[in-house]
Amino acid sequence: MESHHVLIIEGLKDRYKAQAAVLVKAGYSVQSVQSDSIEQLADQLLTSKPDIVLYGMGENMPGLESVTALLTQDSAEIPLIVITNKLTKRSVTAAENCGATAVVQNRQSERLLRTVKKELRSALLHRRVDRLENEFELIQLQHRINELENTLRERDARCIDLTEDCRNAIAYIHEGIHIYANRSYSNLLGFDDDNEIIGTPLLNWIDLHHNVVLTKLLRNPFASHDITKLKVKLIQNDAEPAEVDMEFSAVKYHNKLCTQITVRTSGERKIHKPSTDTLMHHDMITGLYNRQYFMKVLNENITTSVKSGMFQAVTFILLDNFKTIREKIGVISSDALISDITGLIWEIYGHENTIARFGDYTFTVLNNYSYKEGAYQLAETLRGKIEKHSMTINGHTVSTTCSIGICVINEHMKDAQNAHSRADLACELARTSGGNQIHVHSTTIDAQIDREIEKKMDDMVRKTIDEDRFYLVYQPVISLNGKAGGHYEVLLRVLDEDGHVILPGQFLSLAEKSPLIMDIDRRVIQMAFKTLADMHKEEENTSFFIKLSGETLADPLLPEWITLQLKEYYLRGDSIIFEIPESVATNRLQETQAFVKAMQALDCKVAIEHFGYANKPEIIKYLSVDFLKIDGSLINNLASSRDNQKKVKSIVDLARSTNTLCIAEHVDDAHCLVMLWQYSIDYIQGNLVQEPSKDLTHDFEDEAALAGIMETDTE
């Protein structure tokens, strides 16, 4: 254990010895102050630099307010624990008003150790958060600079495109030398090749009478922001000098201060302004489209592509070991790897396909291809390139592989979400099969399901239930404000007849169309209750979030059944939080209200999940729930999407106004975690903390675990 330095301000020597003995035994380094001189304390703080200070009782001690003022100088933020003889509401309030971070009753050794440990971890976490916020601001600034540089490059490229098509002759002059000329300018001087004039001095082509004026003008193009117009005699190849009107203006070209020359010609032309996508459609780091814009494009193409006979597919790309790489090289350096991989993806798919950064380390492509196997061949080329690719970042040689899922768009695709979910599922199958491979979603299965679903759905679901091909995994829900207790969300996993894992999305989409979904929900509740009852034998302060379908929610016998299950497993109601999707709560408002009321009678809690997806915040006015779980689509790209930031902030404000706790789900990157911290969100859940697992040993008491997640390696 890392040794921490504790400074004890204590007027009673015996009490200091008792406190010191407890702390030294626990591995802390201890030093004392036994003087009422605030100057002496200041000197001691300067030399000893303690990690935490204990303030005791007795005479000859500096005042508590003076001590807290001293500790907060220079933003040191050293925790201060006050030790009192009698722990009352008044004594705690008085100490906190003076700036104490915690109050402990004298002679409670275990309580003292726990409080010292907690305050040290909290201080460490806050320092790391502050550092991460600073790093995040730098990242945002750098991204903004990159955006502006990209915009400048795009502007230069558009300018060149426009000048190439321009009837007027245009050239750029740097230090008197031609560095660019459009076709009209080259033709004007008698050249067939635009490049022949590059590198030649402008004065070679101007009558000597104007050399003095031009030399002064070219030497300092930015001396005047006005356009200078001159009539000059232009020397042309194999022709007599011709008098022309020239305009000279200051420009930047490839970051060089230049003079733009425009030679006016007769005739009119129309200028077609090139269309540009707004920044809100793009990912901040890669410049690719973001998730929201990709789904919009996919939704627009999903019906037209089938009718037109085009070959289209959704390709979902996931970097296999990115989380491990990020922990090794840090957030900032891992962004460099993402940019490098983006280059490979762009190299393969180019301008003819719609490419997006879908998540922290996932990408999606809407493929347009001319033959049936085209999407697979492109994906295989990309897989091979990523496998062979490596880069060196701050002395670390980094390489990765990818898992790719492909869903060919056909007449069975109902909407964009349907097509994307199947590509995502195919990618997950590739990942869970070992990674570095490609899985193509079977359209044959889709067709078979469409033809036989009504006939075989109930049989298939019933067989899965009868053969008990279910198991549960759990994902921690972490408090960001130090609240005690541990929470897990309960997630279902299903096995097929061969024992392979089926993610619940495809299975439950069938089961929810059958009354058997209620049997599945009850089976999950029983399995979760049994697991939680076993956990409570060792740790009672653990709660489970359990999902409910709309059909189960509507069952009038459900509350009575839940009551019996709580009694059978000796569980307290407040250890259970039932999750209801926002869409279900909206469409079944009366049934939801009745269920919430019944659960409150059992001390059970209720959460609305996927909140914000339907954009119907008014639903919360009619439901007295305990938690709002913000939909993952709003959390993804939170750092780069101002629209998402605005929506998430409004949901947090709504939760505050209704005394409801807020949970952000699908938190997968540290950038969005910083923003959630700034918004004072109550809880987070996502792969950044821990992927769903059978493991139930997450250390919720150890804030250092969260601090480790937020640690930024700036090598």
Per-residue model confidence as pLDDT tens digits over 370-398: 565 778 888 999 999 999 988 887 777 88
Please tell me what DSSP assigns to residue 429.
Answer: H
* Amino acid present at 133: E
Q: Does the pLDDT at position 238 exceed 70?
A: no
State how far the alpha carbon of 594 is from the alpha carbons of 52, 547, 580, 597, 600, in Å.
50, 17, 13, 5, 10
- Which uninterrupted H or E stretch holds 503? none
3-state secondary structure of 439: strand
Q: Does the pLDDT at position 525 exceed 90?
A: yes
DSSP string, 358-375: -SSSEEEEEEEESSTTHH
Report the 10 Å Cβ neighbour count for 607.
Answer: 22
* Cβ-based neighbours of 498, under 8 Å, separated by 6 or more: none
3-state secondary structure of 506: helix
Looking at the chain, the domain(s) classified CATH 3.40.50.2300 span: 5-130
DSSP string, 281-346: GB-TTT-SB-HHHHHHHHHHHTTHHHHHT-EEEEEEEEETTHHHHHHHH-HHHHHHHHHHHHHHHH
State how far the alpha carbon of 460 is from the alpha carbons of 278, 444, 498, 550, in Å.
48, 18, 14, 21
Interatomic CA distance for residues 27 and 2, integer angstroms: 8
Looking at the chain, the domain(s) classified CATH 3.30.450.20 span: 168-263
Nearest to 158 by CA among 64, 276, 278, 267: 276
Dihedral Cα 680, 682, 687, 689, nearest 10 deg: 90
Q: What's the half-sphere exposure (Cβ side, CA atoms, 13 Å) at 402? A: 27
pLDDT in tens, 263-281: 865 433 332 333 344 456 7
Dihedral sign for Cα atoms in the order 303, 306, 308, 311: positive
- Which uninterrupted H or E stretch holds 39? helix 38-48
State how far the alpha carbon of 680 is from the alpha carbons of 479, 652, 673, in Å.
11, 8, 11
Pick 287 or 500 by higher pLDDT. Answer: 287
Q: Give me the chain's average pLDDT, please.
A: 78
| Average of per-residue pLDDT across 601-615 | 89
Q: Does the pLDDT at position 608 exceed 90?
A: yes
Q: What percent of the chain has pLDDT over 90?
A: 17
Looking at the chain, the domain(s) classified CATH 3.30.70.270 span: 283-441
Largest distance between two CA atoms of the chain: 108
pLDDT in tens, 121-177: 877 777 777 777 777 777 777 767 766 666 666 556 555 555 555 567 888 888 778
Per the CB < 8 A criterion, the answer to whether 638 and 644 are in contact is yes
Per-residue pLDDT, 223: 57
Least confident of 186-195, 216-225, 337-346, 673-682: 216-225
Instruction: Give the tokens for residue 45.
Output: 């703080």
Per the CB < 8 A criterion, the answer to whether 23 and 30 are in contact is yes
Q: Across-strand partners of 392?
A: 397
Nearest to 679 by CA among 705, 708, 647, 707: 647
Per-residue pLDDT, 35: 65
* Amino acid present at 289: Y
Per the CB < 8 A criterion, the answer to whether 608 and 625 are in contact is yes
Angle at 217 between CA 214 and CA 218, to 5 degrees: 85
Per-residue pLDDT, 252: 74
Q: Does the pLDDT at position 597 exceed 60?
A: yes
Q: Across-strand partners of 233?
A: 243
| Average of per-residue pLDDT across 518-527 | 90
- Which uninterrupted H or E stretch holds 87? none
Interatomic CA distance for residues 615 and 646, integer angstroms: 12
* Amino acid present at 72: T
* Cβ-based neighbours of 444, under 8 Å, separated by 6 or more: none
Residue 433's pLDDT band (cuts 50, 70, 90) = confident
Pick 443 or 260 by higher pLDDT. Answer: 260
Pick 204 or 354 by higher pLDDT. Answer: 354
> What are phi and psi for residue 491, nearest 5 degrees?
-125, 140
Per the CB < 8 A criterion, the answer to whether 372 and 311 are in contact is yes
Please tell me what DSSP assigns to residue 274.
Answer: P
Instruction: Give the tokens for residue 65.
Output: 């307010």
Instruction: Give the tokens for residue 337.
Output: 């790897």
Nearest to 611 by CA among 598, 623, 601: 623
Per the CB < 8 A criterion, the answer to whether 486 and 535 are in contact is no
CA 153 to chain CA mean position, Å: 27
The second-level CATH assignment, the architecture, of 5-130 is 3-Layer(aba) Sandwich (3.40)
Per-residue pLDDT, 272: 31
Whole-prediction pTM value? 0.48
Instruction: Give the tokens for residue 477.
Output: 């829900």
Per-residue pLDDT, 431: 85
Per-residue pLDDT, 274: 30
Interatomic CA distance for residues 124 and 707, integer angstroms: 7
* Amino acid present at 521: D
State how far the alpha carbon of 174 is from the alpha carbons of 118, 171, 178, 252, 327, in Å.
64, 10, 7, 10, 47
The second-level CATH assignment, the architecture, of 168-263 is 2-Layer Sandwich (3.30)
Ramachandran assignment for 261, one of left (phi > 0), alpha (psi -120 to 50 degrees), beta (any other): beta
List the CATH code of the domain at 465-709: 3.20.20.450
Per-residue pLDDT, 76: 61
**Residue burial 137-149, b: 16+ Cβ < 10 Å; e: rest:** eebeeebeeeeee
Instruction: Give the tokens for residue 171.
Output: 């050239």
Per-residue pLDDT, 442: 66
Q: Where are the beta strands (DSSP E) in 394-464?
A: 396-399, 402-408, 438-440
Per the CB < 8 A criterion, the answer to whether 665 and 631 are in contact is yes
Nearest to 10 by CA among 1, 21, 2, 19: 19
Q: Across-strand partners of 546?
A: 578
Residue 664's pLDDT band (cuts 50, 70, 90) = very high
Interatomic CA distance for residues 270 and 273, integer angstroms: 9
Instruction: Give the tokens for residue 8.
Output: 């004890």
Interatomic CA distance for residues 677 and 687, integer angstroms: 17
pLDDT in tens, 206-220: 765 655 666 666 666
List the CATH code of the domain at 283-441: 3.30.70.270
Unique residue bearing structure tokens 């909407």: 415
Dihedral sign for Cα atoms in the order 366, 372, 377, 379: positive
